[in-house]
Structure 1
C-alpha cells in the first residue's frame, strides 16, 4: 500500500471502507480524518456498514494513540448500521487496537481479515 489511507464506498454491498496502512504520522491521521468525514457526508450512515481495515497498519506511536482513541469514539457516534475493525497483521499493532477498543467500549467487531466482514 503506497498511499497510507483510502476511503471508499461500495454501494452494492452497502459498505463504507476506510483503509489505513503503513507508519502513520500526525499529518496522515489528519488527512485521513478529513477524507473520512468528506466521504462519510455523502452517504446515509444508518444504511451502511463501516469497515476500518487496519491490516497493513504499522505500530502506532504514542502521540497518535490519543487520536486513534478519538477515531474509535467517532466511529461509534456516526450511526453506522454495523462497525468492523480489521486488526493489523502486526501483533503489536493489533494489541494496541484491542486496548483502545477496550478503553473506548468499542461497539464494533474486531476481525482478522476482510473475509470476516459480514
Structure 2
C-alpha cells in the first residue's frame, strides 16, 4: 500500500472499506477523516457494513491515540449495519487497537484479516 489511507465503497457486497497503513501523522488523520466523511455521505450507512482495515498500520504515536479513540467512537455513531476492525499485523499496534476498543466499549468485531469479514 503506497497511500496511507483509502476509502472505497463496494456496492455489490454493501461494504464501506476504510484502509489505513504506515506511520500516520496528524495530516494523514485529517485527510483520512475528510475522505471518510465525503465517501460516507454518498451511501445509506444502515445498509452497509463498515470495515476499517488497519492491517498495514504501524505503531500509532501517543499524540494520535486520542484521535484514534475519537474515530472508534465516531464509527459507532454512524449507523452502520455492522463494524469490523481488521487488526494490524504489528503486535504493538494491535495491542493499541484492542486497548482503545476496550476503553470505548467498541461495538464492532475485531478480526485478524479481511478473510474474517462476513
- Give the shorter-chain TM-score range: over 0.9
Q: Residues 60-106 of structure 1, C-alpha deviation per residue, up to 9 Å, x if partnerless?
A: 00000000000000000000000000000000000000000000000
- How many Å separate the matches in 2 of 1:27 and 1:102? 26
Superposition TM-score, scaled by structure 1 size: 1.00
Shift in Å at residue 113 of structure 1? 0.1
1:22-61 to 2 correspondences below 5 Å:
22-61=22-61
| Whole-Å separation in 1 of the counterparts to 2:109 and 2:95 | 15
What residue ranges of structure 1 are gaps of 5+ in the alignment? none
Where do 1:18-97 residues align within 5 Å? Answer: 18-97=18-97
Give ranges in structure 2 of 5+ residues lacking alignment. none
Secondary structure (helix, strand or coil) at the match of 1:28 reads: helix
TM-score, scaled to structure 2? 1.00
Divergent runs of 4+, >4 A: none
Partners of 1:33 and 1:93 lie apart in 2 by 20
